[in-house]
Amino acid sequence: MHAMTYLSEKNLVVTMRYSKYFTSALFAVLMMPGYEGARADGIYHDETRAYIGLQWILADTDGAMPNFVLGLRQSRTRTDNRVTGGDLSLAFSLDTFKPDAIRISYLEGKCNFIGQYGLGYSMKKQASLFFVGLVGPYSKVFAEIDSGKNPAAGLELNTQDCAGKVVG
C-alpha cells in the first residue's frame, strides 16, 4: 500500500511540476490548423495533422508513469477508403522529462483499422527499435523489439481521430 501511495504522490508532483509545459503543448496542438488538400478530380484526400498523447510501455520497470507524445501524421485517403501515409512521434518520459524514443512508421489500411510498421531509436535504452502495430481513432497498440532483442508492448492514447475522409 505504501508503494502505491508513493507512486500516486510522485505522479501528482511530476504532473504539477510540468503542467505548464503540457498545457502550452496541448494549446499549441489544438490551435494548430491541419493541412488538408484534395485533387481536383476527387481521387484522394490528403491530411497532415499534429497530435499529442500519453503512451504506456508494458516492459518498463518505472511503474505506471506514461510517456508524453508529440506526433505528426500525414495520410492520403482514396475514394475506396484506403489510407496510406506516415507517422512521426517523439516520446518524452514524464518521470525524468527527457526524450525517451523517436519513431517513424508507414501506415496502411482502412480508417478504423490501420496497420503500421517502422523504425525508431530509444534514447533511454540507447538502442534501435523495430515495431509493428495497429492504429485506430485516438489510439495505437504496438509491439516492438530493440537491437538488444528485448521485446516490449505499448499502448498510446492520443488526440488523433480517424485518418482521412472519403472525398466526393
pLDDT in tens, 76-126: 988 888 899 999 999 999 988 899 999 999 999 988 889 999 999 999 999
Nearest to 10, CA basis, from 118, 94, 105: 94
Q: In this model, does residue 8 exceed pLDDT 70?
A: no
Half-sphere exposure in the Cβ direction for 32 (13 Å, CA): 17
Contact 49, 160 (CB under 8 A): yes
Q: Residue 126: inside a domain, yes or no? A: yes
Q: In this model, does residue 164 exceed pLDDT 70?
A: no
Show the cell assigned to 41: 478530380
Q: Which domain holds residue 112?
A: 2-158
Q: What percent of the chain has pLDDT over 90?
A: 54
**pTM score:** 0.74
What is d(CA 45, CA 24) in angstroms, rounded to the nearest whole number?
A: 30
For the four alpha carbons of 47, 130, 112 and 23, in that order, the dihedral sign comes to: negative
Q: What pLDDT, on the 0 to 100 scale, is given for residue 44?
A: 80
* Number of domains into which the chain is organized: 1
What is d(CA 156, CA 53) in angstroms, rounded to the nearest whole number?
A: 7
